[in-house]
Amino acid sequence: MKVPHWQLALGAALFTGGVAVGLRLQRPADPTQAEPGVRPRYDRDGALFQPLAQGRRASGKPDIVLISVDTLRTDVLGAYGDTRGLTPFLDSLAAQGTVFERAYASSSWTVPTVATMVTGLYAHQHGVDRGAFQSSGVHSQPPLPEELVLLPERLRGLGYRTLGVTTNAHLAGELGYQQGFDSYVNAGFEDAAFIDATVRDWAPMMAKGDQPVFLWMHYFDPHDPYTRREPYFTELESRTLTGTAMAAPREQRTEKAKELSKMLGKALKDDIGRFEDPDELLLLQNLYGAEVRYTDEWIRRTLNMLELSPDTLIVFTADHGEEFMDHAGLGHRRSLHNELMQVPFIVVRAGDIPAGQRVSQPIATVDLLSTIVEVAGGDRVAQSGGASGRSVAPLWRGEALPALPALSTTQKGGLLQESVVVGDHKLIRRNEAPLVQLFDVVNDIHERTDLAPAQPERVKELLATLDGLLKENRREGATGSVEVTDPATLEQLRAMGYIDDDDGYGH
């Protein structure tokens, strides 16, 4: 568990209701702690896909599993170049399907970017672009507008049974995320074990009948505060420590890790100066890396338990990344640089999606809804109505698809930042201490060299593109909120950084 069970009280007070929306207090054991003499049911090297007894669904429609992970940097996956072995299962999954090398999130924090994933609209179009909890009266972010047709609603209209389990309170049913789900469970800020327990309850139902199934699982684990996951943390430390750090007593680093594991989001960032020390930063990165490894293991166990048909479409992505002093900061929301904005996007389906293929053309998470709906049998043209994204399925089928700009925005208090990716270049604009930057995000993926001074015409062109996108179907901020008044809950939210007393925006 990342935090005490205050989140359960928060869920009960704020987010109950909807369609089969609930909370669960019981967790299964840690996957790394098997009972003595008892062999785990699912072998590490066991086959992921197992043909259903009846083969493909009689409907002809594939089951669909959407996996999204909170706060997951693309560059921690082996499929995207990492060499530390943090994601062995996800890397094996990627080898069975197609990897999109350049997928961009619509924002650098959860509230607007997940809303984009389920609506197919940018933040300025769906209107859910404000902070999580406002300190003036303290309200949650506004709910998803009821008139929008969400991904599960579209799939249910195509004959799907729809199931969702999420472990982030920002995705609570009361905030509109239960729309279109036959069963939806949100647990506040829980860990991956909760998702496994919930899906195990659903597994018998998913395996029966001719009705195709859509399952969405959203994992929270890589988000701060980091839990010291063993044995993964110790393994990372042993393989990554510098000479200076190795010289320090092991107990000293263990105590520091315990200290950092207890620090909530805002406290961690308030102590940012200590992470200018490379060894201190490495300690934090290893805590994060162990969380990633822990999440990978739970995803493996849950998917193997389901014994999916080879015909199943699996889509894996993240809502945004995480910064570790890449641009002088920690966490997320504070910028629109690649460590936050470039997310993994992996698709797998036997017989339709080529194994081992990589696509370099840029796409965006705003495309996720239209892509899934097309594979589910929705008309490629008709289903795109009311969505800004488009299906990227033609790209994995070797068909031509014109590249489109990828728009991203983030706002914290009065600071508004906007960016657009066109081809190899990204333009970033911010309104406070006004600044416009231009980067070659293919040859300078870490965005170290600002090309704006040397390429004013390119800047002018991309600014026009950015402003044009921001004018399309703009919606004023969504209305309505849920008030939070319990003092203990408010204090926990403030400690985590979900209440910002200075500007009224959480993150």
Residue that is last in its domain, among 342, 373, 404:
404
Q: Which of the listed ranges 50-54, 375-379, 470-474 does the model predict with the highest average pLDDT? A: 375-379
Question: Quick one: 450 and 358 in the same domain?
Answer: no
CB 69 within 8 A of CB 219: yes
> pLDDT-derived band of residue 271, with 50, 70 and 90 as boundaries?
confident
274 plus 350 within the same structural domain:
yes
The residue ranking higher by pLDDT, 234 or 484, is: 234
Q: What is the CATH number of the domain that holds 243?
A: 3.40.720.10
Distance from C-alpha of 89 to C-alpha of 273, rounded to nearest angstrom: 35
Residues 364 and 417 in one domain: no
Closest CA to 59 of 163, 214, 215, 180: 214
Same domain, 225 and 127: yes
Per the domain annotation, does 485 fall within a domain? no
Please state the pTM of the whole predicted model.
0.84
Within 10 Å of residue 160's Cβ, how many Cβ atoms? Answer: 23
Residue 159, phi-psi category: left (phi > 0), alpha (psi -120 to 50), beta (remainder): left
Most confident of the following: 250-259, 278-287, 314-323, 413-422: 314-323
- Domain span holding position 307: 6-34+41-404
| 481 located within any domain | no
pLDDT at 333: 81
Pair 223, 255 in one domain: yes
On whether residue 363 sits in a domain, the answer given is yes
Supply 200's token pair: 């195990």
Query: In this structure, are 59 and 122 located in the same domain?
Result: yes
**Does some domain include residue 504?**
no
Q: Which of 66, 48, 100, 62 is nearest to 315 (CA)?
A: 66
Mean pLDDT of 190-196: 94
Residue range 353-383, pLDDT digits in tens: 999 999 999 999 999 999 999 999 987 555 5
Please enumerate in sequence order all residues whose Cβ is within 8 A of that of 483, keeping only pairs 6 or more positions apart, or say none. 137, 138, 139
In a shared domain, residues 468 and 321? no
Top-ranked range on mean pLDDT: pick from 137-151, 206-220, 268-282 = 206-220
Number of domains in the chain: 2
Q: Are residues 255 and 316 in the same domain?
A: yes
78 plus 214 within the same structural domain: yes
Which of 364, 379, 404 corresponds to the end of one domain?
Answer: 404
Asked whether residue 184 is domain-assigned, the answer is: yes
Instruction: Tell which wins on pLDDT, 207 or 358.
Output: 358
Cβ contact 109:410 at 8 Å: yes
- CA 311 to the chain's CA centroid: 24
Domain annotation covers residue 489: no
443 and 369, same structural domain?
Answer: no
In whole angstroms, give the CA distance from residue 47 to residue 310: 11
499 within domain boundaries:
no
Same domain, yes or no, for 250 and 114? yes
Alpha helices in 312-398 (DSSP H): 338-341, 368-375, 393-396
435 shares a domain with 313: no
Residue 404 CB-half CA count within 13 A: 18
Q: Is the pLDDT of residue 162 over 80?
A: yes
CATH number at residue 421: 3.30.1120.10
- Is position 302 within any domain? yes
Over residues 262-284, the mean pLDDT reads 84
Judged on CB neighbours under 10 Å (0-12, 13-18, 19+), 463 is: middle
